[in-house]
């Protein structure tokens, strides 16, 4: 399999030169192990706690395990031996050199719990998601249509090894549900959780209705919140809050829910090929999910935790902006449309937003499925492929 240079490389090297511990997290199969082996193979030893005998060594004799390495070391799937963290803390407090340990793991809820207890202030944290459009272009396998892009998703192995999505995702879902989530969180009602996953998938791109989720999945509100948190911390979904000038309101009002990868989303929704997306009622939501995930990748690869929001004027769906990205330079407003026609109406809410307030607007754009690149009243129209060039 050809190694693809990842966009996060320079940031990862920079962080490793500043912190004694680096933690690289992200979903399973996002390419963490491959990246670390390729980027640091000259200076680091590598060990994976996926292997049972090595994991038992680390758990039962953490001091002996760490003493087995002479220099810098990469510990993959480090969340499987949380006993190591306090011993790592003791070592770095004594020596305190940058880049002593690089830890990686796909179970963010376990890693962050251990880090907050033992390594707070000593660790640089980065997240690696599946391929961005610019990374995918390096493989020479950039999808020809938006439907192919959405249906296939962007997991590296699926793309580099030319695995069909319908062959890749059933095994991925089964492994994720049955091994990772069930083993680490003690979820025993597997059938209910699978049903819950499918119901959550049907809500991607929409505000989260916790009550309806619970009724549809036949679980109580406490379980809904718990399972959504697990999906978030495992990099399956993320929640995007609404934009308000009042900061407190952003986190008390209803967020929207999105999947990190649309290939996984399409598999959970039951799609069997890309053509089925054409007339489907979820196509717009899946396209929106793909665009916002791509913008997240751009930020994560630069080591930034973006401030992303949506805006809606009360319950009026006609007055809505799909994405607001907040920065010190102002707000970047984005409308997302799966249409191939550059309709002037798409710019209406972008132009009206903020007229009655002192909100600073950095830029306004429409990302759509068309090839034309007009500018209407200062609003740029751009094809989704252009995101790879930003």
One domain for residues 174 and 226? yes
Question: Rounded to an integer, what is the distance from CA 107 to the centroid of its chain?
Answer: 13
Element (H, E) at 366: strand 361-368
What pLDDT score was predicted for residue 107? Answer: 65
Question: Long-range CB contacts (< 8 A, 24+ apart) of 173-181?
Answer: 173/197, 173/264, 173/267, 173/268, 175/28, 176/28, 176/234, 176/236, 180/28, 180/106, 180/107, 180/234, 181/230, 181/234
- The string of DSSP codes covering 51-109 is SHHHHHHHHH-HHHHHHT-SS-EEEETGGG-TTHHHHHHHHHHHH--TTSEEEEES-HH
What pLDDT score was predicted for residue 253? Answer: 81
What pLDDT score was predicted for residue 178? Answer: 67
One domain for residues 175 and 108? no
Does some domain include residue 86? Answer: yes
What pLDDT score was predicted for residue 355? Answer: 66
Task: Give the model confidence (pLDDT) of 292-301 as tens digits.
Answer: 999 999 999 9
One domain for residues 156 and 223? yes
One domain for residues 179 and 274? yes
- The domain boundary, picked from 103, 127, 151, lies at 127
What pLDDT score was predicted for residue 113? Answer: 67
- The domain boundary, picked from 127, 144, 163, lies at 127
What pLDDT score was predicted for residue 304? Answer: 92
User: What is the token pair recorded at 106?
Assistant: 């796909």
Q: Are 90 and 63 in contact (CB under 8 A)?
A: no
Does some domain include residue 54? Answer: yes
Strand boundaries in 210-336, DSSP class E: 237-240, 256-259, 307-313, 316-327, 330-336
What pLDDT score was predicted for residue 248? Answer: 63
Q: Is the pLDDT of residue 351 over 70?
A: yes
One domain for residues 158 and 203? yes
Task: Give the model confidence (pLDDT) of 48-70 as tens digits.
Answer: 998 999 999 999 999 999 999 99
One domain for residues 113 and 30? yes
User: What is the token pair recorded at 355?
Assistant: 């007229």
What pLDDT score was predicted for residue 147? Answer: 97
Confidence of residue 71 (pLDDT cuts 50, 70, 90): very high
User: What is the token pair recorded at 343?
Assistant: 């309709």
One domain for residues 161 and 273? yes
β-strand 45-48 against 307-313: which pairing, if any?
A: unpaired
One domain for residues 198 and 105? no
Confidence of residue 358 (pLDDT cuts 50, 70, 90): confident
Does some domain include residue 85? Answer: yes
CATH number of 15's domain: 3.40.50.300
Look at the chain and report how many structural domains it folds into. Answer: 2
User: What is the token pair recorded at 43?
Assistant: 């200076």
What rounded mean pLDDT belongs to the chain? 90
Does some domain include residue 176? Answer: yes
One domain for residues 155 and 264? yes
In angstroms, rounded to a whole number, what is the distance separating the alpha carbons of residues 341 and 372? 8
10 Å Cβ neighbour count for 160? 18
10 Å Cβ neighbour count for 270? 10
Task: Identify the residue with better confidence: 342 or 179.
Answer: 342
Residue percentage of the chain with pLDDT more than 90: 69
What pLDDT score was predicted for residue 157? Answer: 92
Q: 355: helix, coil or strand?
A: coil
When pLDDT is averaged across residues 320-348 and rounded to a whole number, the result is 95
When pLDDT is averaged across residues 68-97 and rounded to a whole number, the result is 91
Does some domain include residue 43? Answer: yes
One domain for residues 30 and 87? yes
One domain for residues 71 and 91? yes
Q: Using the 8-state DSSP alphabet, how is residue 360 labeled?
A: P
Does some domain include residue 380? Answer: no
Question: Rounded to an integer, what is the distance from CA 3 to the centroid of its chain?
Answer: 21
Task: Give the model confidence (pLDDT) of 159-215 as tens digits.
Answer: 988 999 999 999 999 887 666 676 666 677 778 888 999 999 999 999 999 999 999
Task: Identify the residue with better confidence: 230 or 344.
Answer: 344
Task: Identify the residue with better confidence: 190 or 134.
Answer: 134
- C-alpha dist (Å) from residue 372 to 40, 363, 386: 43, 19, 12
Domain housing 57: 9-127
One domain for residues 54 and 112? yes
- The domain boundary, picked from 279, 311, 342, lies at 279
Does some domain include residue 365? Answer: no
Does some domain include residue 215? Answer: yes
Looking up tokens 């717009």 gives 284
């Amino acid at each position: 399999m050809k190694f693809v240079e990842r966009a996060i490389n320079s940031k990862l090297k920079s962080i490793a030169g500043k912190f004694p511990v680096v933690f690289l997290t992200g979903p399973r199969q996002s390419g963490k192990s491959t990246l670390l082996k390729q980027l640091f193979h000259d200076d680091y030893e590598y060990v994976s706690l996926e292997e049972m005998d090595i994991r038992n060594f680390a758990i039962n004799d953490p001091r002996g395990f760490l003493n087995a390495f002479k220099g810098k070391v990469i510990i993959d799937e480090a969340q499987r031996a949380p006993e190591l963290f306090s011993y790592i803390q003791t070592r770095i407090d004594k020596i305190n050199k940058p880049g002593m340990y690089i830890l990686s793991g796909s179970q963010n809820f376990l890693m962050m719990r251990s880090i907050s207890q033992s390594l707070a202030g000593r660790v640089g944290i980065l997240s690696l998601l599946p391929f961005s459009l610019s990374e995918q272009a390096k493989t020479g396998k950039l999808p020809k249509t938006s439907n192919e892009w959405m249906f296939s998703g962007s997991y590296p192995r699926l793309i580099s090894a030319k695995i069909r999505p319908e062959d890749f995702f059933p095994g991925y879902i089964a492994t994720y549900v049955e091994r990772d989530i069930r083993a680490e969180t003690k979820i025993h009602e597997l059938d209910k959780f699978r049903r819950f996953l499918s119901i959550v998938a049907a809500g991607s791109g929409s505000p989260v209705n916790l009550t309806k989720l619970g009724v549809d999945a036949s679980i109580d509100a406490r379980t809904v919140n718990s399972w959504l948190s697990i999906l978030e911390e495992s990099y399956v979904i993320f929640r995007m809050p609404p934009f308000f000038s009042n900061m407190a309101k952003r986190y008390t009002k209803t967020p929207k829910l999105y999947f990190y990868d649309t290939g996984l989303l399409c598999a959970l929704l039951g799609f069997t090929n890309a053509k089925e997306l054409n007339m489907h009622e979820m196509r717009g939501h899946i396209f929106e999910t793909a665009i916002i995930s791509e913008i997240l990748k751009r930020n994560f690869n630069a080591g930034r935790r973006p401030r992303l929001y949506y805006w809606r004027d009360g319950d009026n769906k006609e007055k809505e902006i799909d994405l607001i990205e907040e920065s010190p330079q102002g707000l970047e407003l984005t409308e997302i449309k799966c249409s191939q026609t550059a309709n002037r109406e798409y710019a209406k809410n972008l132009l009206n937003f903020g007229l009655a307030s002192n909100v600073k607007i950095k830029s306004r754009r429409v990302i759509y499925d068309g090839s034309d690149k007009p500018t209407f009243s200062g609003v740029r129209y751009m094809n989704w492929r252009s995101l790879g060039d930003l």
